[in-house]
């Protein structure tokens, strides 16, 4: 699904990611863990085109129809089917909950702006579908009752779920979640884990997620990548990661 080859990202003197390699297989839930400042969010930013890597390549759909997406714009990458959520929630704050999800559909629209203004049948048809899909996704994340409220008036946990619904509206194949459980209580966290597994199956997603809650990572990820100071220090299934001496030293031990 996604291959990262020898990716290095430097910010001036800071090496946020150092010769990072990863191969994410289709249909998997892959976790990315590591201490604060390890470079996890930077890797997401490089994949989604927010930053162009200093070195290395990002390949989407490796194999037959592979695409080199290194250096593409974020909107182009989203159109190809990679969407994300943000560690520091970035909703369209002043807009309604429903509009937030509705806007997630916009990238797939085929009618032009004049059809939208004149409300031509082709636009109306698309709009109706977009609206239905948005409502369905809101129901999925349990926010259907709050659809008319402003996004920023939602409590923290619900804002995180709204971000996921918005990302799903773009019809991604690969979904990147940056600390989806941050700020959630244990109950919400458990629901989130079920939810992630559920949407993975329903929408045939591949999921790459950053998380600090070990319960989440160990509970739902089939493959885990461990990052420290921008470098990959371990990789494997949850059991092997938990017993890996490098990881215990660099990360789990200090916690």
Partner 1 sequence: MKINNRFKKSLSMLIITIVVLFILNKVLDDYKLRVLNLCGIYIILGLSMNLINGFTGLFSLGHAGFMAIGAYTVAILTMPAPMKEMNFFMKPIVPFLANIEWSFFPALMMGGVMAGLFGFLIGAPVLRLTDDYLAIATLGFAEIIRVVFTNTQSITNGALGLKGIPASTNVWWSWGLALVTILFMTFLMEGSYGKAFNAIREDEIAARSMGINLFTHKVMSFTFGSFLAGVGGGLLAALLGTIDPNMFRIVLTFNILLIVVLGGLGSIKGSVVSAIIVTIAMEALRFLDESINLGFVKLEGVAGMRMVIFSIILMAVVIFRKEGLLKEN
Ligand X SMILES: Nc1ncnc2c1ncn2[C@@H]1O[C@H](COP(=O)(O)OP(=O)(O)O)[C@@H](O)[C@H]1O
Instruction: For the chain, give the number of residues.
Output: 255
* Interface with ligand X, residue 11, by CB under 6 A: yes
Half-sphere exposure of 159 (CA within 13 A, CB side): 21
Q: Name the DSSP class of 87.
A: S
Listing DSSP states for 60-79 in one string gives ES-STT-EE-TT--HHHHHH
CA dihedral 75, 58, 180, 192 (to 10 degrees): 100
Which range in 31-39, 110-118, 123-131, 182-190 contacts ligand X by CB under 6 A? 31-39
CA dihedral 167, 168, 174, 176 (to 10 degrees): 40
Which of 12, 13, 36, 117 is close enough to bind partner 1 by CB under 8 A? Answer: 117
Which range in 38-46, 110-118, 142-150, 157-165 contacts ligand X by CB under 6 A? 38-46
* Interface with partner 1, residue 52, by CB under 8 A: no
Which range in 9-17, 23-31, 102-110, 238-246 contacts ligand X by CB under 6 A? 9-17
Q: Which residues contact 58 (CB under 8 A, 6 or more apart)?
A: 2, 3, 4, 5, 7, 46, 47, 68, 69, 70
Helix (H) or strand (E) holding 236: strand 231-236
- Contact call for residues 48 and 78 (beta carbons, < 8 A): yes
Which of 28, 54, 87, 116 is close enough to bind partner 1 by CB under 8 A? Answer: 116
Residue 99: which of partner 1, ligand X, Mg ion, none does it interact with, CB under 5 to 8 A by kind? Answer: partner 1
Which of 5, 18, 40, 140 is close enough to bind ligand X by CB under 6 A? Answer: 40
User: x/- string (CB under 8 A) for partner 1, residues 72-111?
Assistant: -xxx--xx---xx-x---xxxxxx---x--xxxxxxxx--
Residue 187: which of partner 1, Mg ion, ligand X, none does it interact with, CB under 5 to 8 A by kind? Answer: none
Residue 52: which of partner 1, Mg ion, ligand X, none does it interact with, CB under 5 to 8 A by kind? Answer: none
- Interaction site with ligand X (CB under 6 A): 11, 14, 16, 34, 36-42
């Amino acid at each position: 699904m996604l291959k990262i080859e020898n990716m290095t990202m430097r910010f001036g003197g800071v090496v946020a990611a150092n010769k990072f390699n990863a191969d994410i297989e289709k249909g998997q839930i892959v976790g990315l863990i590591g201490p604060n400042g390890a470079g996890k969010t930077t890797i997401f930013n490089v994949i989604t085109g927010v930053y162009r890597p200093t070195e290395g390549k990002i390949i989407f759909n490796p194999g037959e129809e592979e695409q080199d997406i290194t250096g593409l714009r974020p909107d182009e990458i989203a159109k190809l089917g990679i969407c994300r959520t943000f560690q520091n929630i970035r909703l369209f704050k002043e807009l309604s909950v429903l509009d937030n999800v509705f806007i997630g559909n916009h990238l797939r629209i085929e009618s032009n702006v004049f059809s939208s203004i004149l409300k031509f049948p082709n636009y109306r048809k698309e709009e109706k579908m977009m609206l239905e899909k948005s409502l369905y996704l809101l129901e999925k994340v349990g926010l259907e009752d709050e659809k008319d409220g402003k996004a920023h008036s939602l409590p923290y946990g619900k804002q995180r779920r709204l971000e996921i619904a918005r990302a799903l509206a773009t019809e991604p194949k690969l979904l990147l979640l940056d600390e989806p459980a941050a700020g959630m209580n244990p109950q919400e966290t458990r629901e989130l884990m079920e939810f992630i597994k559920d949407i993975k199956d329903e929408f045939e997603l591949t999921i790459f997620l950053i998380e600090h809650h070990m319960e989440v990572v160990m509970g739902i990820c089939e493959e885990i990548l461990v990052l420290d100071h921008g470098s990959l220090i371990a990789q494997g299934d949850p059991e092997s990661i938990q017993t890996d001496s490098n990881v215990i030293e660099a990360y789990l031990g200090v916690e």
